[in-house]
Amino acid sequence: MAETTDYIASALRTVRIEADAVSSLESRLEEGFAKACDLMLNCRGRVIVSGMGKSGHIGRKIAATLASTGTPAFFVHPGEAGHGDLGMITEEDVVIGISYSGTSVELITLLPVIKRMGTPLIGMSGNNKSPLAKESDVHLSIEVDTEACPLNLAPTSSTTLTMVLGDCLAIALLEKRGFTAEDFAFSHPSGALGRKLLLKVEDIMHSGSEIPECHPDQPLKEALMVMTEKGLGITLVTEDGKLAGVFTDGDLRRVFDADTDMRSSPIREMMNTDPKTIKHNMLAAQALGYMEDHKITAVVVVNGDQQPIGVLHMHDILRAGVV
């Protein structure tokens, strides 16, 4: 039990130290931060993030966050940059250099070339008198009072603060650009979130010959054969290209209760004349919510002229991975 208590006490100390470090950012987000945002917003090329060691790991995350929120960015390793990868950087880019000491040799070696190209430099360091700070067009302080590491050696509080500062830049630019959820989805098309924000009903609905369809005067028996063949638990009842009604598995149960003659009775006598419909350009995720609200598993899809053009089954949405 004593050891468990020690673990928890250590963890709580780390949380407090890192939370204090992040809180200290509030007093630093002033003119320099705004200038850095302007440099990145007006960048005609890409935002290049670079850093060694733990700063490099954080830099990769910052670059990835920027890229996914509307600011084209990528990470360049400073060691590799000194051996050819510097060619990835152009005068139209903006460089974010990260080094807590501000003296990382691999990064500092690149600065004369970056400055000679005229590429704007945003420096992040914990020392405003460091070579990185002095050479930067804008310097953003990532200084912390102490690392969470009891030896005050392992980058902990400082890396957390740096990551939060990167998020601040990304979100400030996102809001300034008017970046939307749909914009976000376009850079995340393979994820569940992308599918939820991009996939439309028309992308996954059954259309053409897959639509179960019959005429109002057809006998119920024939309508059931159509519904069974298509396997969607529903058949559309149409006349002259217009939706007159629908007949579903639920309606069939009511027919049995009413002891109706299925061989001769026309489908018009048993169909639902006020069916639920959705638009073809509705998001699949919205369609799922609509179907859940109305407790239905299949729904008719109509175009802008209210003409039936498809059927969407809940299984189609699940197979598409929207949820």
Domains identified in the chain and CATH numbers = 2-179 (3.40.50.10490), 201-319 (3.10.580.10)
Residue 274 half-sphere exposure toward CB, CA atoms < 13 A? 0
Instruction: Report whether 107 contacts 89 (CB < 8 A).
Output: no
Amino acid at 181: A
CA gap 91, 83 in Å, rounded:
19
Q: What is the pLDDT along the chain (323 residues), one digit of tens a residue?
A: 556 668 999 999 999 999 999 999 998 898 999 999 999 999 999 999 999 999 999 999 999 999 988 899 999 999 998 888 888 899 999 999 999 999 999 999 999 999 999 999 999 999 999 999 999 999 999 999 999 998 988 999 999 999 999 999 999 999 999 877 666 666 655 566 666 667 889 999 999 999 999 999 999 888 889 989 999 999 999 998 899 999 988 888 777 766 666 667 899 888 999 999 999 999 888 899 999 999 999 999 999 888 999 999 999 988 887 76
Instruction: Report whether 45 contacts 94 (CB < 8 A).
Output: yes
Closest by CA position to 300, among listed 280, 286, 318, 283? 280
CA gap 102, 141 in Å, rounded:
10
Instruction: Report whether 269 contacts 299 (CB < 8 A).
Output: no
Instruction: Report whether 317 contacts 288 (CB < 8 A).
Output: yes
∠224-230-235 over CA atoms, to 5°? 50
